[in-house]
Amino acid sequence: MLSIDFDHRPQGVEPLATEPTFHPGRHLALEKPKEIISLTEFGYSAEEIAACPSDFAATDIFRILSDEGAACLYEVCKQLEAFTTSNPRIQRNMRGGVYRSKFLRDLCLSPDITAFISEICGVELLPHTIPHQMGHLNYAPDKIGDNVDKWHVDTLRYDYVMFVTDPKKNQGGAFQYYRGTKQEVAALHKSGKPLDPAKVVSPTMPGPGYAIMQQGNMVVHQAKGLTAPGERITMVNGYIPKDPHFPDFTRYDQLRFADPEEVVTAEYSRHIAIQGQRMLDDVFGKDGFSSNRYGYADRLEAVAAMLTGAAQQIRESDSETLEHFGD
Ligand SMILES: [Fe+2]
């Protein structure tokens, strides 16, 4: 079975010399969200929802880490802050931290969290198989008032956004999402009109270690800048549906804006290889010895089409812009 080898690191990436060890029993404090909002409530059509792995859109605030867990993650994030990079959407982010920090990696791969959020989302999930889509860290820009991240949808299916620092100590810095469709936001942005303020939701985060889970490709969201000096760090962890037949939402052309080309290309190719293998497992094991010859042919063709589509993305994706909906 293909899997990610985290000890096989991109060139120049070294593990942290010292860091805490992740202990799920002490560091997790999983508490279910009180509210789960559906894609229907966001205004998506039955047809659009049927194309998604589940009707889940977003949760209200829920807890992931204990106080001790949040303190350990903060310690790791302070060490990783030395490796932040910029892209056209985010001034200071740190990607690929799972290669440097075993704590971050173990947190992102935690089977306890994966099972917990799978239940919330109504679909069985797996940690993302692109390492740079795990444990993404955002740090507030140096200039007060600049947004941490612009309005956008994610180039992945499911993710949670968790505060590492205490949001109550800051002025501004809210995580916001838009309770409408991405098509609505795209049309408003194209015509230069503002978003409907009545649909902008700014959940109140009670402390570090609390998060929102979202179907990130369907929920338009942003991270506001601080309005006074302070420290704001958030972590985003990505997931994919366990069922490999849902189309993959990874955009190779978009990831090229965020990470070095050799890293994006290798990680994306491996991610596709793993998805292909999971699809092939289905071909191999599903029917035993069946006379359903067209069923076999369909499944083999589905694997071939998925691989060809990914190869085309790699060959032809030379986008000039990183897509977003502005500040
Ligand atoms: Fe996002």
DSSP 150-181: EEE--SSSEEEEEESS-GGGSSB--EEEESS-
pLDDT of residue 320: 73
Mean pLDDT across the chain: 94
Q: What percent of the chain has pLDDT over 90?
A: 85
Task: State CA 162 to chain mean position distance.
Answer: 11
Ligand 1 centroid vs 301 CA: distance in angstroms? 33
Ligand 1 centroid vs 300 CA: distance in angstroms? 33
Ligand 1 centroid vs 285 CA: distance in angstroms? 36
Ligand 1 centroid vs 163 CA: distance in angstroms? 14
Ligand 1 centroid vs 237 CA: distance in angstroms? 10
Ligand 1 centroid vs 291 CA: distance in angstroms? 45
The model's pLDDT over 125-171, given as tens digits with 9 standing for 90+, comes to 999 999 999 999 999 998 998 888 899 999 999 999 999 999 999 99
What angle, 0 to 180 degrees and rounded to 10, lies between the N-to-C axes of helices 261-285 and 293-316? 180
Structurally, at CATH architecture level, domain 24-247 sits in Sandwich (2.60)
Reading phi first (left if > 0) and then psi (alpha if -120 to 50, else beta), residue 122 is in left
> Distance between CA atoms of 283 and 194, rounded to whole angstroms?
48
pTM of the model: 0.95
pLDDT of residue 326: 84
> Distance between CA atoms of 4 and 273, rounded to whole angstroms?
11
Ligand 1 centroid vs 149 CA: distance in angstroms? 8
Residues 6+ apart with CB under 8 A from 199: 178, 179, 180
Ligand 1 centroid vs 39 CA: distance in angstroms? 17
The model's pLDDT over 114-138, given as tens digits with 9 standing for 90+, comes to 999 999 999 999 999 999 999 999 9
The model's pLDDT over 223-242, given as tens digits with 9 standing for 90+, comes to 999 999 999 999 999 999 99
- Cβ-in-10-Å burial (0-12, 13-18, 19+) of 91 comes to buried
Q: Which residues, listed in sequence order, are joined to residue 237 by a DSSP beta bridge?
A: 160
